[in-house]
Copies of this chain bind each other. A is one copy, B any other.
Amino acid sequence: MEYPQESFVGTTFTPGSFWARRREVVRSQTLRHQLKMLKETGRYDAFKLKWHPSYDDPPTVYPVPNHQFWDSDVAKWIEGACYLLMDSFDSEIDAAVKELVQMIRGAQQPDGYLNIHYTVVEPGKRFTNLRDMHELYNAGHLIEAALAHHLYYKNDELLSPILKYVDLFVTTFGDQDGQLAGYPGHPEIELALLRLYKVTGDQKHLKLAQFFIEERGNQKGGKEQRPYYDVEAEARGENEHELPMCYPAARSYWYQQAHKPIAEQETIEGHSVRAMYLLTAVTDLVRIHEPTSETGTKFLPALHKLWSNMVEKKSYVTGGIGAIKKWEGFGIDYFLPQGTDEGGCYAETCAAIGVMMLAERLLRIELNSHYADIMELCMYNAVLTGMSLDGKAFTYVNQLASSDKDLSERYEWFECACCPPNVTRTLGFLGGYFWTHAISQQSAVVNVHMYTSATLSLKVSNSTLTVTQKTDWPWNGDVEFETRTEGPPVDLELRLRIPGWATSWEITPRLDNLKIENGYLHLSTEWLQQNSKFRLSCPMKPRFVRPNPLTMQPVAYVTRGPIVYCVEDIDHPWENQHFKRTILDLNATLKEEPQSEPDSYVAIVAENGVKGELDTSAWEGQIVAESSDEVSKSSKDLNYIPYYLRANRGGKGQMRVGLRVL
């Protein structure tokens, strides 16, 4: 039982490689920038439990106070810092982590309670609104920070107070007399508790996570035999027509996936980050109990259904999820407009990070390249787009098309600042996503999910096994592998993911009996003993792909390997309508043009890719028109750049991923 937040330590990204450079930016720039933001906004000092003037601000998203997430912002930063400190020591970051830990320790109440808002602003109201407030979410991030801290500092300075805090939860929540039969409005603590259980081995940590998961959505919960959120709302004296701003109607508990028990849910609904964090925990629970256990057979069918519903009917080409701004989440099946001027596109950065988490956990249960395809897609597109090249500007919402109201642009921070430090910590333990392994005695199985220049180093009994990849991925699909063992020989078996987008691929030296299972090429111990060096080639060609026609999106996207492309106004000075009327010619030749500025990448030029502009003059003053030709012809080139590179080079903030083909 392992997690990428731990397994990543085995991975070393080759200096100068794609991800080494990104992580270096985060280490040298982002951590400092975010530390500055934490300090300027009051978050850094908040655990000192003094009053901050912003505590008086009315909530932007009623009823959640704007500072409600501060605990988690700090916790995620600490978590990310600890991961990155392992790369190289940084005294400024180290000092800040240590100071924050001391402030957190100092903020803990005698009974273990540890939350800024309910200690400073509303003392006495703790645990009265699990539905809307983020006490347990914050606690989950504190647990994850403590685990990262423990991993790097190898002491209990943070873990120890957090364990005391968790003990308070163990006492408070459950189905026993005197306990609250509640569960968090925003899942996170579940997955954190399960990770904690791995370290402590303490059954109470597993049990509490399992309670939160099993009880969620119980319509006859607690001794009141009613939904818990109703019970606590009445206890608060809440008027039944008093709605949280993100609720479309009273008691829309599908917003937080609590409208029915998880095992009975058939479609993915509500807030997308909550959904991903929750299902990640559910997958972990299934893994802990084994998929064939009672818990496993209870939840696994729901996991499959919800995942499929999400991928087939509620995901964007970038891997982004969530069309609806109001509840930051999923719309109805196939409702996937590209921008707010067409009905919405949210695709929050944190949600895509959640998809990566869930995909990675599912891969550990079922080695199927489909999950890794989605994980890779999110990583290079919906997640990576969330941070600028200089590491100091971020996006929260990742639309596929800009509009006058919502330009394609970045911000240095957010009032609700969940995304920036989430990218930081994700980049921090990124190595954990590339491969998983199983070791038993003198043998090892390594599943390679994604490719980059990096080395995995594993201790196998008294030997050290290394698997090294060398590649210019995601720009070139050739990957040179080398395996080595120091010490007694190790029986290594490798499984290499064949990407779903690869229309052809090759392994050199040639393998005579190909064994491919669920999209993974199995390389046997015997073959690897003969071939310690080999090459996997997955040629990358630019291509046009289309969304499901049921999305009613008459568009095509340009992709190449795992990269999704977009067009920006800066490369098309003639454009001022966000490419909304630009008609793409699917017969255009897609030419690759390697670039070195603002970073190395492969640009794509669609030669004469513009067939013309959509002409809607026939509809002036009309509802309908008899029209056969809606295009005013004018051939022009289209210059595509990777979506994740958008909003890095100036311009007017006009951008589009999918261009009309008719």
The answer for the CA separation of A622 and B343 in the assembled complex, in Å, is 23
Does A312 sit at the interface, judged by CB under 8 A? Answer: yes
Q: Are B326 and A332 in contact (CB under 8 A)?
A: no
Instruction: Tell me the A544-563 residues at the B interface (CB within 8 Å).
Output: 544-550, 552-554, 557, 559
A585 shortest CB reach to chain B, Å: 14
- List the B side residues contacting A317 at CB < 8 Å: 623-624
Number of residues on chain A facing chain B (CB within 8 A): 59
The answer for the CA separation of A543 and B625 in the assembled complex, in Å, is 10
* Candidates B308, B316, B343, B624; contact of A547 at CB < 8 Å: B624
Q: Are B630 and A549 in contact (CB under 8 A)?
A: yes
Q: Are B311 and A370 in contact (CB under 8 A)?
A: no
Given the contacts A242-B241, A627-B546, A621 and B342 also touching, CB distance less than 8 Å: no
Closest to A337 in B: B552
Q: Are A549 and B624 in contact (CB under 8 A)?
A: no
Does A445 sit at the interface, judged by CB under 8 A? Answer: no
Chain A 547-589 per-residue mask, 1 if CB under 8 angstroms from chain B, else 0 = 1111011100101000000000000000000001000000000
- How many copies make up the complex? 2
Does A509 sit at the interface, judged by CB under 8 A? Answer: no
Q: Are A248 and B552 in contact (CB under 8 A)?
A: no
- List the B side residues contacting A343 at CB < 8 Å: 331-332, 335, 343
Does A243 sit at the interface, judged by CB under 8 A? Answer: yes
Does A120 sit at the interface, judged by CB under 8 A? Answer: no
A542 shortest CB reach to chain B, Å: 11
The answer for the CA separation of A645 and B317 in the assembled complex, in Å, is 41
The answer for the CA separation of A379 and B317 in the assembled complex, in Å, is 43
Q: Are A552 and B552 in contact (CB under 8 A)?
A: yes
Q: Are B239 and A624 in contact (CB under 8 A)?
A: no
* Candidates B63, B241, B315, B625; contact of A243 at CB < 8 Å: B241
A488 shortest CB reach to chain B, Å: 43
- List the B side residues contacting A625 at CB < 8 Å: 545-546, 548
The answer for the CA separation of A558 and B315 in the assembled complex, in Å, is 33
Closest to A316 in B: B623
Stretch of A28-36, A88-96, A612-620 with 4 or more beta carbons under 8 angstroms from chain B? A612-620
- List the B side residues contacting A312 at CB < 8 Å: 619-623
Chain A 314-349 per-residue mask, 1 if CB under 8 angstroms from chain B, else 0 = 011101000000100001111101000111000000
Q: Are A548 and B616 in contact (CB under 8 A)?
A: yes
Does A438 sit at the interface, judged by CB under 8 A? Answer: no
Chain A 599-620 per-residue mask, 1 if CB under 8 angstroms from chain B, else 0 = 0000000000000001010011
- List the B side residues contacting A86 at CB < 8 Å: none
- List the B side residues contacting A500 at CB < 8 Å: 622
Does A55 sit at the interface, judged by CB under 8 A? Answer: no
Does A168 sit at the interface, judged by CB under 8 A? Answer: no
Given the contacts A343-B335, A621-B370, A622-B312, A242 and B245 also touching, CB distance less than 8 Å: no
Closest to A243 in B: B243
Given the contacts A545-B625, A545-B626, A552 and B342 also touching, CB distance less than 8 Å: yes
Closest to A564 in B: B624
Instruction: Tell me the A415-444 residues at the B interface (CB within 8 Å).
Output: none
Residue from A250, A374, A550, A624 with most neighbouring chain B CB atoms (10 Å): A624
Query: A residues within 8 Å of B by Cβ?
Result: 62-63, 239, 241-243, 245, 248-250, 308, 311-312, 315-317, 319, 326, 331-335, 337, 341-343, 370, 374, 377, 500, 543-550, 552-554, 557, 559, 580, 614, 616, 619-627, 630, 660, 662
14 A-B pairs besides A546-B624, A557-B624 with CB distance below 8 A are A62-B241, A239-B239, A245-B250, A311-B621, A311-B623, A332-B342, A543-B626, A545-B624, A545-B625, A546-B625, A546-B627, A547-B623, A548-B616, A552-B552
